[in-house]
Every structure is written in C-alpha cells, then in structure tokens.
Structure 1
Amino acid sequence: MKSTGGITEFKIRSSEIDHKGRSTLPALVGYMQEAAWENTFDLGISMYELLERGLTWVLQRIRIEMFDYPRHGESIKVETWASGRERVFLHRDFRIYGSGGELLGQATSVWLVMDVVKRQLVSVPDFILAVEIVQGKEPLPFAKGKLPQLQETAFSQKMVVRWHDIDLNRHVTNTRYLQWVLDTLPTEILEQDLQEVDIIFRAECLLGDTVLSEAGPGDGAGVNLHKLSSEKAGKELVQAKTVWKSQGYDNL
C-alpha cells in the first residue's frame, strides 16, 4: 500500500481558548494527533491495529511553528502525511489552515513503536514498513539534533500525575507534558505569542508519579528552555525549547 495524506476539519471550542479568545497550542497539538490517528486508520496502521499486536505508537519529538492562532468558533483544517523514515524513526508532518485557507502553523514530528508489555521500543514491524511512503508534499526539515540544556532554573513547579493525565498507553499523554512545560512560565511570558516549540519526549511517566517542571532563559530574546523530571525515577522525561514574541493585545 502507498501512503496518502489526510485532511481533517475541526472547530475551535470554548474550552480550548485563551484569555484572548484564541486556541491554545496544546489544543492544536491535540487536533494534529487526531488528524494523524485518522490518517493512520485509513492506512491500516492506527493505534488500534498496533495494540492488537501488543504494540503502540509513541511520539518522540515534535517541532511546531505558529504564524497565527485560530479563534473560538473558527473552522480549521489539519493536513498530515507521512514524510519519511530513518531506521526506527518515522516522520510525520502537519499543516494547519484557517477558515480562509491561510497557513496558520506547521509541524514536523518523529514517532517510534513500543512494546506495550515490555515497555520497550522495538524495530518498525513489517506491516508498517509495507506502507510505502510517497512524497506528495514537500517535507519539512526533520526534527534532529540536540536542544540546549537548561543551565539556569528561573521557574519551577511540581505536578502529581492524576488519572486524567493518562492516555490509552497508560502513561502521561504528550499534550499534558506540553501543558506542564508552558504552565511553569510566569504570566508576563504566557501573555506573549508562542511562535515556536521544539519538544523531545525522553521517557514515560505513570500514574502517581510526581513531575518537576523547570524553565529558564535560553540564548536570544524570547527563548526559554525547559525540563521535566520524574521525582520517583530520578530521570529526565522531557526537554523543550519555546520561543515567544510580544504582539500586544487584540480585542476579543
């Protein structure tokens, strides 16, 4: 089978907006995942097909660029397609379009396959390799390389992993990690426009664990570096970089 991309339409709900009436980034990432799920379902390699074989998809990294944010009630389209494969790394790209067809944002992501019983990453199985990747769209540059390490912690908070933080894989869902990364920053940063996020998921975190979220300044104006760590396991869970720009306030 040859891979084909997919387009899914969503409408921004009131529970997914910020104080300016615009969609939050975690909500948009959730839409990207939903679009990816629908596309993989059409290709016969969705989460459910993997779970029947004792496997599952896990997101290893996602790099997002936002040019503008949709508002409450606006209909958007999320386009997604398989953009490449490197050893055990499977790449998937996204583009978000506004109601007028304008490009609001784009993202490139990296996915791995995990054994749900052993909780270990595995080689890409043959039934996934059988889906031939056909480049119908120009791929975005792959998310590669290291992120700068957080050197100076300016902000921190702790979160206990609760029931509603857990997803189908029985670990903390990646949109919750992203929310924790952002929520650690002070209001004066959060009121700015979030333009870029690069987030690497290094380890899973389970129900009942306590997560330490730390953030501090990076190199350049508006750049912040982030780290999430497991208090129980003593290991790094997430590393991220965010880029912010002040744009003033729009009227709702």
Structure 2
Amino acid sequence: MLSKGSPVAPAIYNASAKDATCALTQSRSIGSVSIRRKYNVFLCNLSSRKVSPLLAVATGEQPSGLASLHEAEKEKSLGNRLRLGSLTEDGLSYKEKFIIRCYEVGINKTATIETIANLLQEVGGNHAQSVGFSTDGFATTTTMRKLHLIWVTARMHIEVYRYPAWSDVIEIETWVQGDGRIGTRRDWILKDYANGEVIGRATSKWVMMNEDTRRLQKVSDDVREEYLVFCPRTLRLAFPEENNNSLKKIAKLEDPAEYSRLGLVPRRSDLDMNKHVNNVTYIGWALESIPPEIIDTHELQAITLDYRRECQRDDIVDSLTSREPLEDAEVIEFTGCNGSVPSKKDEQDLSRFMHLLRSSGNGLEINRCRTEWRKKPAKR
C-alpha cells in the first residue's frame, strides 16, 4: 500500500524477482517503490474544502500545500508503511504483491479458494485505506460514517486458472467503479509475479446497508462523489467477454438436494467488523457439501455467490448441493490475454454444482452459489 516509508523498499526495487522473493519471506506482502509519492497521501475530508494531490490530478485543482502532505505522512500507520502495495501511476487502481504462506495452502499443496478470497478482500481494504477511506466499517466514506452506512457484498464471482503454491508470489490489482444507484463494483486481476501470467480474475457487487436498521439503502450523490474520483474514467471490466459466467443468474436449488451438510454453526472468528459472518465463510460452507470424490479428483475453477441474507452469530446453517447438468449450463470460452481457451477435453472434465445455504430454523435462504470444477492437473 503506502510503500515509500519502508527501509527495505530501495533494495527490493533494485533486486531481481528471485532475490526479492527470498529477501521478503519475512514480510506478509511485498511490492516496489511507488515513483509517484503524492498518490499515497490520504484524501482530505471533502467538507474541509482542502484538495489532496490525488484529487487535484483528477479535477485540475491545486493541492493544499506541503504542510498538508507532511501532516498526512505523519498520520500513516506502521502497517501502512510496511504493507508496500501502492496505487498505480494514474491513481485509479491499486496493486499489491503477496507471498503464499504454508498455512494458506490445502491438501493440493496450493492456495485454497478461501485464501484467494481473503487476499482479494485484503487488497480491496488496502486500496480503500490508501485513498483515505476509513477502516471502521470497511472502506466507509465520511458521509457514510455520519449516516451509519456500511458496505456489504451482494455478489462475488472468482475464476482461478492456476492456483499458486507455497512460496509463490502473486500480484493482485484492484479497482472500483460506480454501479448505478444501488452500489459499487470492484474487480481484480491476479498475476504470477515471476512471469506476469494472469492466473485468476474476480468481480463483485457491493451495496449500502444502514448499520442500525440492517436495511439496504440507495447510494446518495454525496457518497458517490466521494468515491467516483478514484474510479477509472472509462468502464474497465475484469471480465470484458460478452455473456461471461460472472453475469449468469443462479437459480434456487430445490429440495431434495443430492448432498447436504446440516447444522453448520458460525464461530466467533467468522464474524467481521460489521458484526455479521464474513463473506469468505460462505465459500467454506458451500464446499462442505461437495461429494468427496470431486474433492479428491477435481479442483475449483470458478465460484459465484449471491448473498441473499446476512448471517448472524446465533444462526445455524444447512449446506445443500446438487449437480448441474452440463447440457443445461452455458459454456463460456475465454478469449484474449486474460483467460485460457478450454479444449473439448477440458469441457468433458468439468463438473458443475448448484449450492444453497439456508437457515436451519426457518428455512430462509442465506446464499445461492454455483461452482465449476476441473480435473486436477498433474503434480508439479
């Protein structure tokens, strides 16, 4: 994130990718020195009429002066200085590099889908902090905090073309765009840092909720103005393909389901700062009812989640799963540099499932999910 304050940054900047990987195994995230220092200052409160350098770039106004820069530098936390991710040159997206830890890999000796989802969430939060949004309530703006509004995830779609292994270094880029009156859209691109290969993509939709009433609320013009200054000027999509899987609707899974895991109970550690179950937890719950033979022979290629209702600490959840016939599912071919084009054999090796998370007590729908699985690759 705010990378220039780190004493190790100059050495990393001049080192090779291999040397950087070795030198930084004691740091959770790695990155290079940003050459545009002014992009890493906090955005001033809009009501103060001061203009940050980043806002000045977007609007053509004059920054508030070196004194404000100095004060913003002093306000940086230790975590911000060590995180080492940074805004891109135009200030409209954010990149951060991570080394995969041993506790983040699963039985395949590669990062789990939960690890990938957690890193996406981490990068999104760090991006918000880098432009001055609050850590209270996860990236809330000044107006949102005044009105007790928070962001909640409405939909998440992740595709992984190759899972990184323990000690691999990946780079994740993220950016935000307005999505009409109801919320925002955040996208991600995941790359292998060693060779620049795109190994995954993701997109999500976020809506505003009143923290007190727990009701959804439309995005006001005041809130929109606070974040649009940091959004790309033209539409940029992680999934630009027409009719891609990220847009596909998920039908409700009806009983009886082929597979089920009943009575899942949220742990205290599953709760996030907004006091509801973290969205990554739903992924683990959905996968709990996948048949063992799929887990043993396949790996997750894509997952889509529609969040229908928030889950609280005292809720008990049932996980239901059924196969989705391939002939009923749309087959999307990825073209261009972002994705890989599947062969006919690859399509034959795919398995698709529909998932439903519901409340055990009243049967209310909590989450709809679709997963797509491919045959495991040969061992490295």
**TM-score (normalised: structure 1):** 0.91
Shift of 1:34: 0.6
- Contact conserved, 1:91 with 1:108, CA < 8 A, in 2? yes
Q: Name the larger-Rg structure.
A: 2
1:134 aligned to which of 232, 251, 264: 232
Aligned pairs for 1:118-197 within 5 A: 118-130=213-225, 131-132=227-228, 133-135=231-233, 138-139=236-237, 140-141=239-240, 143-144=246-247, 146-151=249-254, 152-158=256-262, 159-191=264-296, 192-197=298-303
Match of 1:20 in 2: 108
Q: How far apart in 2 are the matches of 1:73 and 1:183?
A: 27
Q: How far apart in 2 are the matches of 1:113 and 1:60?
A: 10
Shift of 1:136: 6.6
Structure 2 residues not aligned, in runs of 5+: 1-54, 59-90, 327-349
- Indicate whether 1:40 and 2:128 are aligned: yes
Structure 1 residues not aligned, in runs of 5+: none
Match of 1:107 in 2: 202
Q: How far apart in 2 are the matches of 1:22 and 1:225?
A: 24
Match of 2:87 in 1: none
Shift of 1:52: 3.5
Shift of 1:7: 0.5
Shift of 1:29: 0.6
Q: Let me know the Cα RMSD of the aligned residues.
A: 2.1
Q: How far apart in 2 are the matches of 1:207 and 1:34?
A: 22
- Contact conserved, 1:182 with 1:190, CA < 8 A, in 2? no
Q: How far apart in 1 are the matches of 2:282 and 2:133?
A: 25
Match of 1:230 in 2: 359
Partner SS state of residue 128, structure 1: helix
Deviations 1:36-60 (A, max 9, x none): 1111222334452637432211111
**TM-score (normalised: structure 2):** 0.62
Shift of 1:183: 2.0
Match of 2:13 in 1: none
Q: How far apart in 2 are the matches of 1:73 and 1:122?
A: 42
**Going by fraction, where is helix more abundant, 1 or 2?**
2
Match of 1:213 in 2: 319
- Contact conserved, 1:64 with 1:105, CA < 8 A, in 2? yes
Q: How far apart in 1 are the matches of 2:287 and 2:134?
A: 29
CA shift in 2, pair 1:248/1:38, >3 Å: closer
> Which of 190-199 and 234-243 deviates more?
190-199
Partner SS state of residue 179, structure 2: strand
Shift of 1:99: 2.5
- Contact conserved, 1:47 with 1:56, CA < 8 A, in 2? no
Match of 2:17 in 1: none
Shift of 1:32: 0.4
Point out which structure has higher relative CO (alpha carbons under 8 A, 6+ apart): 1
Shift of 1:63: 1.0
Amino acid at match of 1:216: S
Q: How many residues align?
A: 251
Q: How far apart in 2 are the matches of 1:41 and 1:76?
A: 21
2:305 aligned to which of 196, 199, 213: 199
CA shift in 2, pair 1:123/1:5, >3 Å: same
- Contact conserved, 1:23 with 1:70, CA < 8 A, in 2? yes
- Contact conserved, 2:288 with 2:319, CA < 8 A, in 1? no
Shift of 1:66: 1.1
CA shift in 2, pair 1:136/1:29, >3 Å: farther
Shift of 1:135: 4.2
Amino acid at match of 1:162: R
Match of 1:66 in 2: 160
Q: How far apart in 2 are the matches of 1:96 and 1:189?
A: 25
